[in-house]
Amino acid sequence: MRNALLFTVGVCILSASAMAWTTAQQARVVSTAPTSIDEVLVAVRADLQGERSDIMAKNLTLTSEQAAKFWPLFETYQKEQNVIMDEQLKGIQRFIETFDTLDDATALGLAHAHLDRDARMSALRQKWLAEFQKALNTKLAVRVMQIDRRLSLAHQVMFSSKIPLAH
**Cβ-based neighbours of 64, under 8 Å, separated by 6 or more:** none
pLDDT digits (tens, 9 = 90+) for 131-156: 999 999 999 999 999 999 999 888 88
Half-sphere exposure for 51 (CA within 13 Å, toward CB): 20
Over residues 12-32, the mean pLDDT reads 42
Angle between helices 2-16 and 18-27 (to 10 degrees): 60
Model pLDDT for residues 76-93, shown as the tens digit of each residue: 999 999 899 888 888 888
Distance between first and last Cα of the chain: 13
| C-alpha 1 chain-centroid distance | 26
How many Å apart are CA 146 and CA 136, to the nearest integer?
14
Rg (CA), the chain: 17
Banded model confidence at residue 45, pLDDT cuts 50, 70, 90? low
Please, how many CA atoms are within 13 Å of residue 133, restricted to the half-sphere of its CB? 9
The chain-wide mean pLDDT, for the chain, equals: 78
How many whole angstroms from its chain centre is CA 67? 23
In degrees, to the nearest 5, what angle opens at C-alpha 56 toward C-alphas 91 and 161?
35
